[in-house]
Homo-oligomer: A and B are copies of this chain.
Amino acid sequence: MPSTRPAPARTKLLDAALNLIREKGFSATSVDELCQAAGVTKGAFFHHFESKEALGAAAANHWSEVTGAMFAAADYHHEADPLARVLGYIELRKSLLEGEPAEFTCVAGTMVQEQFGASEDIRTACRDSIFGHAATLEADISAALAAYGLSPDWTAKSLALHSQAVLQGAFILAKASSDREVARDMVDHLSRYVRSLFHRPPAQEA
């Protein structure tokens, strides 16, 4: 049987990074803190990552994998109607707005905000995380356009990105106000917008 081996230092560091970066940002998180949170020494850190910057880029990729697996396993994919899948995705994102900002916030968005000018590796890793995730949504939007026979003056890609923009902006407002309800309202507006684009009734407000 596959007995649970102790998590290797590299994974422990990446998991710790996901939490610490969302709590305090990348710059304000020191290598020592990372090591302490991961229960690992500095030697282990620099054995697995050639620099703090390299860990940042790796953490963004790790974030893509963790969240990618989570969204891939979500229920909304089972909806037959592609628009229902899109709206289901949005409702899932809303339901995820629980607990503290550091728990529901996006690592890639947080990190790229402060590191976009300092590290090209981190920037591209965060870009791939955000835009890659948007691409999974773009497919359902395209299918919905086909199913509803629409050819609007906006692209599926731009609407997928817009949804990410709303979410990222909602995170900022939640952090600023210490109130996740604000973020939920923003997601409601997004849902309303998508329904209007497909000429769907306002439906039930949650």
Contacts and interface: CB of A to CB of B under 8 A. Distances in A.
Contact of A172 (B28, B168, B189): B168
Contact of A173 (B101, B102, B161, B192): B161
Given A118-B24, A127-B177, A154 B113 contact: no
Contacts of A50: none
A79 interface: no
Interface string A98-110: 0001100000111
A90 interface: no
A118 B28 contact: yes
Contacts of A110: 113-114
Nearest to A102: B117
Contacts of A197: 192, 196
Contact of A24 (B114, B153, B158, B193): B114
A184 to B, nearest CB: 10
Contact of A186 (B23, B102, B165): B165
Interface string A154-190: 1000110110111111111101111000100110110
A169 B176 contact: no
B165 A169 contact: yes
A172 to B, nearest CB: 5
Given A110-B114, A113-B114, A161-B185, A173 B25 contact: no
Contact of A188 (B127, B154, B168): B154
16 contacts: A101-B117, A109-B113, A110-B114, A112-B176, A113-B171, A116-B175, A127-B176, A153-B202, A154-B189, A158-B185, A162-B185, A165-B166, A165-B173, A166-B166, A167-B169, A168-B172
